[in-house]
Amino acid sequence: MAAAAAGPFSLREVLDAFRRCVTEQREVLLEPYLSGWRGLIRFLQSLGAVFSFISKDAVAKVALLEGHQQQHGFVSLQSLVQHELAAGLAALRARSDSGCRTVLRLHRALRWLQLFLEGLRSGEPRTSVLCTDAYNASLAQHHPWVVRKAATVAFCALPSRDAFLEIMNVGSQEEAVAMLGEAIPYIGNVYSITQELFTQHKLLDLP
Ligand code: 1PX
């Protein structure tokens, strides 16, 4: 955990974490899932203070999940869901600190990430446009007006596509784009397995 926090961000490390996430039985492993998130948060933090209201929320959510993971020894998302559902869906819905509702928030953000990275890969140079489009197609529908407003303002402070590819730290622009092509399916895979799991247990609208 501490080792993952050291050194400059590299997208490679995030890609690696999301690749390690999915087992042959299509389980999503919590340790690499959270490790992938820690990498993304570090990246976000390196973009400057404008984004700190976003990274703070993500940090709090990852910390909550680490707490649950350590307390109960969950290995996978599936075991976390099963454990929390044992108390019944109504009890789960009444909790504001459940692992399930917290995962759901990160899960929606993962969809944003998938769309955003696809946009970066496509070559559109205006990252704020990419980011806004990805946001409107995913997280925005779950956020109140004031959060949407703040997010949209922050997006204007995003670095250019070239700078973005640079700070991903995976080599030349071509190499960065190639790595995106490799990373997106892994992220997509984690997203769709989680989506299936949450659909199956009727957890997609946890308050
Ligand atoms: C190589 C490119 C990597 C880019 C990495 C960027 C990582 C972004 C991580 C974003 C994590 C956001 C989690 C948001 C979870 C959430 O929806 N929280 C809200 C609801 O929580 P609640 O507990 O109240 O039900 C909460 O209200 C959130 C508030 C903060 C604002 C969230 C705006 C999210 C915008 C996502 C886009 C990030 C832009 C990064 C630009 C690179």
What is the 73 CA–ligand 1 centroid distance (Å)? 26
Q: Whose CA is nearest to atom 5 of ligand 1?
A: 40
Ligand 1 pocket: which residues have CB below 6 Å?
A: 11, 40, 43-44, 51, 53-54, 57-58, 105, 108-109, 112, 131, 135, 139, 147, 151, 158, 168
Indicate the range of 10-14, 69-73, 120-124, 180-184 predicted with least confidence: 10-14
Residues 6+ apart with CB under 8 A from 38: 1, 4, 5, 62
The whole-angstrom separation of Cα 102 and Cα 68 is 11
3 against 83, higher pLDDT = 83
Q: Is 57 exposed, middle or buried (0-12, 13-18, 19+ CB in 10 A)?
A: middle
- Calculate how far, in angstroms, residue 122's C-alpha sits from the geometric centre of ligand 1: 22
Residue 2 confidence (pLDDT) above 80: no
Which of 105, 131, 156 best tests ligand 1's pocket when mutated (most atoms within 8 Å of CB)?
Answer: 105
CA of residue 58 to ligand 1 center, whole Å: 6
Which ligand 1 atom is at minimum distance from the Cα of 154?
39
Which tokens is 126 given? 């205006």
pLDDT tens digits along 82-139 = 999 999 999 999 999 999 999 999 999 999 999 999 999 998 999 999 999 999 999 9
Give the contacts of 200 (CB within 8 A, at least 6 positions apart).
none
Q: Ligand 1 centroid vs 103 CA: distance in angstroms?
A: 12
Which atom of ligand 1 has the smallest separation from the CA of 11?
1
Rounded Cα–Cα distance for residues 152 and 199 (Å): 29
**pLDDT surpassing 60 at residue 4:** no
Cβ atoms of 74 and 118 within 8 Å: the answer is: no
Please state the φ and ψ torsions of residue 76, each to the nearest 5 degrees: -125, 165
pLDDT tens by residue, 133-181: 999 999 999 999 999 999 999 999 999 999 999 999 899 999 999 999 9
The CB-side HSE value for 154 (13 A sphere, CA atoms) comes to: 19
- Asked if 38 contacts 60 with a C-beta cutoff of 8 angstroms, the reply is no
Q: pLDDT grade, residue 7 (50/70/90)?
A: low
For residue 112, the CA-to-ligand 1 centroid distance in Å is 9
- Residue 75 CA to ligand 1 centre (angstroms): 24
Ordered by where they begin, the domains of the chain are 8-200 (1.10.3520.10)
Looking at residue 10, what is its pLDDT? 83
The per-residue pLDDT for range 183-202, each reduced to its tens digit, is: 999 999 999 999 999 999 99
Reported ipTM: the value is 0.97
C-alpha of 90 from chain center = 26
